[in-house]
Amino acid sequence: MENNLSDRINNLPVSATLAMAAKTRELKEKGIDIIGLSLGEPDFNTPDFIKKVAKQAIDDNYNSYTPVDGYSDLKKSICNKFLRDNCLKYETNQIVVSTGAKQSIANAVQVLINPGDDVLLVAPYWVSYSAIVMLAEGNPIEVRSDISSDFKITPLQLENSITKKTKLLIINSPNNPSGSVYTEKEFLELSKVLEKYPEIYILSDEIYEHINYGVPHFSFAKIPSMFKRTITVNGLAKAFAMTGWRIGYIGAPAWIAKACTKMQGQITSGANCIAQRATIAALEAPPSKIKYMVDEFKSRRQLIIELLKSINGFKLNEPKGAFYIFPDISEFFGKKIKGKRINNASDFTIYLLEEAHVATVTGDAFGSPKNIRISYAASKEEIKEAIDRIKLSLEF
């Protein structure tokens, strides 16, 4: 039987970021010189002070199952980190460690969403939010923003999107894919709306917290009226160059944390033991230890902005965090370039892949069909070469 799969999986979209990364790998293996600017993955090595602790953990025979919600000393370190960096006072029973922030988000959605519940996603949003909501049989509802508002939504837009079915709002600052960062004032204004709807929960994805170029990071749960309704998600991948180590965590009301542990206990159990030990070292280090990476991303951001500005048809915002730029390229829609018709952002990314040998991701996957996402978590040489190629491929 060819396809006897469940409707659940048949209806699930493939992750566009991972699909483009796989395509890039496949073409590279065939000997085609592709520059991969599709994946949000730091090109640094994990810092030595973290690797050292992981090596020691292996020698110390950390090899058994861990508590489902994480080692208790790790959870204590996470509480300290939340207090130090975010002024959030969580107890250890409010913390759950998972196999990456993606699992943290999936747990939270699974335990809160019933079939038919609405989940508000601020578009552009990270590709997997909508798929995770669909898996829980919830309805992903887009609250749209675009480049004219620096990809942020207003309190009025939020209010207009709320219905009786709304159960959860997912926010993400710094944002993947736009790089926008909400200020404290902007978050306070959104919280004023939410105060009127006590039945709505908030998932605040703060995975890019440290990749920030100036607007101070503000945790949504820091707003007193929101603390008891907010799940704060964070992880190790981006700030510590630890994407493959797969460690994410939440701080949440204890009843939600308990439910996430129950969910995880039936699916994956505790996260990898060695990675958990290494996470303690990462989180106990002051953020100044990873500043060299943030400084480098900042300088690459300047470079890519300058280079992209010289291409006609690219409309840009200035990302304030994360390592993506999300140009509006709708000016190319309806045009033919080198005999190839560009009708939408997907056509444009395919064109760039085939003609310029540069991998990017279509904005459709992020709920923003006029844009493409370019990751600048790549070396300056690669960025220069990639943008040169893009520019050349578009000269007609």
- Which among 14-22, 149-157, 246-254, 385-393 is the span making contact with ligand GLU, rule CB under 6 A? 14-22
> Within 22-81, which residues bind ligand GLU (CB under 6 A)?
39-40
Give least dist CB 271 to ligand GLU, A. 16
Q: Write each residue from 163 to 182 as x if it is in contact with ligand GLU (CB under 6 A), else as -, in one continuous string.
A: -------------x------
In this chain, which of 12, 18, 19, 215 binds ligand GLU, going by CB under 6 A? 18
- 15 is a site residue for ligand GLU (CB under 6 A): yes
Tell me how long the chain is: 396
Q: Total residues at the site for ligand GLU (CB under 6 A)?
A: 10
Residue 237 or 308 having the CB closest to ligand GLU: 237
Residue 202 or 359 having the CB closest to ligand GLU: 359
Give least dist CB 107 to ligand GLU, A. 16
Q: Write each residue from 111 to 130 as x if it is in contact with ligand GLU (CB under 6 A), else as -, in one continuous string.
A: ---------------xxx--
Give the residue at shortest CB distance from ligand GLU.
40
- Which among 2-10, 13-21, 72-80, 295-303 is the span making contact with ligand GLU, rule CB under 6 A? 13-21
Dihedral angle sign, alpha carbons of residues 212, 72, 76, 92: positive
Q: Do 391 and 310 form a contact (C-beta atoms < 8 A)?
A: yes
- 105 is a site residue for ligand GLU (CB under 6 A): no
- 363 is a site residue for ligand GLU (CB under 6 A): no
CA 364/CA 326 separation, integer angstroms:
12
Residue 226 or 237 having the CB closest to ligand GLU: 237
Q: Do 203 and 170 form a contact (C-beta atoms < 8 A)?
A: yes
Q: Which of 283, 294, 286, 200 is nearest to 249 (CA)?
A: 283
Residue 323 or 351 having the CB closest to ligand GLU: 323
Q: Contact positions toward ligand GLU, by CB under 6 A?
A: 15, 17-18, 39-40, 102, 126-128, 176
